[in-house]
Amino acid sequence: MKVVTFGELMLRLEPPGYLRFVQTENLSATFGGAEANVAISLANFGVDSCYVTKLPSHEIGQAAVNSLRKFGVNTQYIIRGGPRVGIYYNERGASQRGSKCIYDRAGSSIQLSKPEDFDWKQIMHGASWFHITGITPALGPNLVQSCIEAAEEAHKAGATVSLDLNYRAKLWSREEANKAMTELCKYVDICIANEDDAADVFGIKAENTDTTKGELSTEGYKSVARQLMEKFAFKKVAITLRTSINANRNDWQALLYDGKDFFFSKKYEIWIVDRVGGGDSFTAGLIYSLLSGKSNQEAVEFAVAASCLKHTIEGDFNMVSVAEVEKLASGNASGRIQR
């Protein structure tokens, strides 16, 4: 099973613990990015995981590549060149103070890349799955075109194409997102979203739902899934359901819709260590499950359990095994010590 993902790998700079940007004298340096997070999760699950991006040839670019290689991600399709690695600064929230993310990614190697940099026919040869998010096309018109060309070639290769809407208001407007994602969704088989992304990108809202007040309506989410399916004729739609009690405590659940039936996972109450990458770990769990032939119910249970565990791990990457996820998905949520 060869899975290809495409996006921007960024340098993540973060104050220690719960210090604020204005307090700290030190920043830890790691790497992360939505599609890279998916690639690493899949590699940890034993999948042939290929990540595509463009990174500079200098030592920081090499460190970024190395951060993928150590988890077994195939990096042969990464293009080298351009001026810089994109950066994001992350400040962890606590209790009623939310986390903050500040981007410094303008002029990065991938942001300045051109569609002709990527030989998608070669990259997609033998691929079973191609995954993209709404973050990558938000980097500019050239990336919109690259994403469309990649999705087109993936379909020619017979691969399943999945898309996480992942709207980022700091990168583009709702109007820009709607135009680009409407075009990209023509090539998508499986759409992954949450209530905010569906509303921001396509104006599709979950009725009787306010996640900021802890109010969720399952019927409202069913309606979102139906509307997305009707608009683009996806094969499946997955909706993540997050209730934020505060920055440290969330309820976490998801549904999967196949155009006929709805499949809801069990709900987890999560004490959050690091929320970044939570949605990406859900996506990786879903991709792995569906490629492995799991049923729709089993797939959504596995994906949510994988994401639940990611919330307990520092950094962007979900460093868990299939056995650990299956143990939680089967109902063992005690967190007891393993000896």
Q: By C-alpha distance, which of 142, 88, 132 is closest to 110?
A: 142
Task: Please write the tens of the pLDDT for every residue from 26-68.
Answer: 999 999 999 999 999 999 999 999 999 999 999 999 999 999 9
Q: What angle do CA 17, 18, 23 make, to 5 degrees?
A: 105
Residue 195: per-residue pLDDT: 85
Q: By C-alpha distance, which of 236, 242, 319, 322 is closest to 46?
A: 322
Which residues of the chain have a pLDDT value below 50?
Answer: none
Kindly give the pairing relationship between strand 10-14 and strand 2-6. Answer: unpaired
C-alpha count within 13 angstroms, C-beta hemisphere, residue 266: 15
Residue 339: per-residue pLDDT: 55
Domain extents in the chain = 2-329
Residues contacting 124, CB < 8 A, separation 6+: 4, 130, 150, 153, 154, 156, 157, 159
Which one-letter DSSP state was computed for residue 45? T
Asked if residue 228 lies in contact with residue 198, where contact means CB atoms within 8 angstroms, the answer is yes
The pair of structure tokens assigned to 21 is 């940007």
Asked if residue 137 lies in contact with residue 150, where contact means CB atoms within 8 angstroms, the answer is no
DSSP string, 48-62: EEEEE-EE-SSHHHH
Give the CATH class of 2-329: alpha beta
Residues contacting 73, CB < 8 A, separation 6+: 36, 39, 40, 43, 49, 50, 51
Kindly give the pairing relationship between strand 249-257 and strand 100-104. Answer: unpaired
183 burial class (0-12, 13-18, 19+ CB within 10 angstroms)?
middle
pTM for this prediction: 0.94
Output the CA–CA distances (angstroms, integers) from residue 317 to 30, 123, 254, in the order listed: 10, 24, 20
